[in-house]
Amino acid sequence: MMAEIGLTHYLVVAAILFALGVAGVLYRRNAVGMLIGIELILNAANVNLIAFARYADRGVGVPGVNGSAGLEGQVFAIFVIILAACEAAIGLAICINIFNKFGSIDADRADTMRG
């Protein structure tokens, strides 16, 4: 098992990255730090998509291009990257907004919604 790299290996790496991302989001009070965690989570998901695309035994792909089955997974990963870019831009704008309003980017200090 160790010699032959298979789908499971990639999934395990992705799971570790995902767990680290979740821990990061929970650990940081810094809004930018939380964003970093979110990026890790998204990347873990992308690793999964690409790995499945590599090992999928079904898929349509591009008609006429041999071996293109499963490329849909890569296309999905591209969409995830696009949305991650959107999310980073908006997230940083929100961070700067929070900083301007509360004098810090400590996410827990922005507690206007406290009940």
Partner 1 sequence: MSYETLSFYMLSALAVCAAAVATFSRSIVNAAFGLLFSLAAVAGLYVLLRADFVAVTQVVVYVGGIVVLLLFGVLLTNRRLEDLSAFAHRPRAVAIILGLAVLTVLLSMVLGASWPQAEVAQLEGTTRPIGYLLLQDYLLPFEFSSLTLLIALVGAAYLVRSQERDE
Partner 2 sequence: MGLIEQGLLIILLPLAGFFLVGLFGRKLPRQGDWLATGLVGASLALAVKTFVQVTLQHDPFAGARTSGPWLRFAPAEALSIGIMVDNLTASMLVVVGVVSFLVHLYSMGYMHGDPKYVRFYTVLQLFTASMFGLVLSDNLLTLYVSWELMGLSSYLLIGHYFEKPSAAWACLKAFMTTRVGDVLMFVGILILFLHVGSLRFADIFAAVADGRLAGSAQMWAGLLLFGGAMGKSAQFPLHIWLPDAMEGPTPVSALIHAATMVAAGVYLMARTYLLLSAETFLVVAYVGGFTAIFAASIGLVMDDIKKVLAYSTVSQLGYMMLGLGVGGFVVTGYTAGVYHLTTHAFFKAGLFLGAGSIIHAVHTQSLAQMGGLRRKMPVTFITFLIATLALTGLWPLSGFYSKDAIIASAIEFALRHPEHLALPIFAVLAAAMTAFYMFRLVFLAFFGDPRDAHAHSHAHESPLVMTFPLLVLAALSLPPVGGGHGNWFWIGNPVPLRGEVAQRYGVATAEQGQAKVSTEHGQPVLTTEGGVAHGEHPAADDPARRAHTMAIGASVTVLLIGFVLAWLIYIRRVVDPRALACRFAPIHRLLVNKYYIDEIVQAGVIRPVMALCRLVARADLWIVDGLVNLTALVTRAIAWVTGRADSHVVDGVVNGVADSAMTAGKALGRLQTGQVGTYLTGGVVGVVMLAGFVFWVLAR
What does the binding site for partner 2 look like in residue numbers (CB under 8 A)?
22, 25-26, 29, 34, 107-108, 110-115
Q: Is 54 in the site for partner 1 (CB under 8 A)?
A: yes
C-alpha–C-alpha distance, residues 26 and 9, integer Å: 26
Q: Calculate Rg over the CA atoms of the chain.
A: 19
- Give CB contacts under 8 A, 24+ apart, made by 85-94: 87/38, 87/42, 88/35, 88/39, 91/31, 91/35, 91/38, 92/32, 92/35, 94/31
Q: Which does 66 bind (CB under 5 to 8 A by kind): partner 1, partner 2, none?
A: partner 1
- Chosen residue from 45, 50, 113, 115 binding partner 1 by CB under 8 A: 50
Pick one of 106, 110, 112, 115: the residue that binds partner 1 (CB under 8 A): 106
Site for partner 1 in 12-31 (CB under 8 A): 12-13, 15-24, 26-30
DSSP 3: S
Residue 106, helix vs strand vs coil: strand
Binding flag, residue 57, partner 1 (CB under 8 A): yes
Task: List the single partner that 113 binds among partner 1, partner 2, none, CB under 5 to 8 Å by kind.
Answer: partner 2
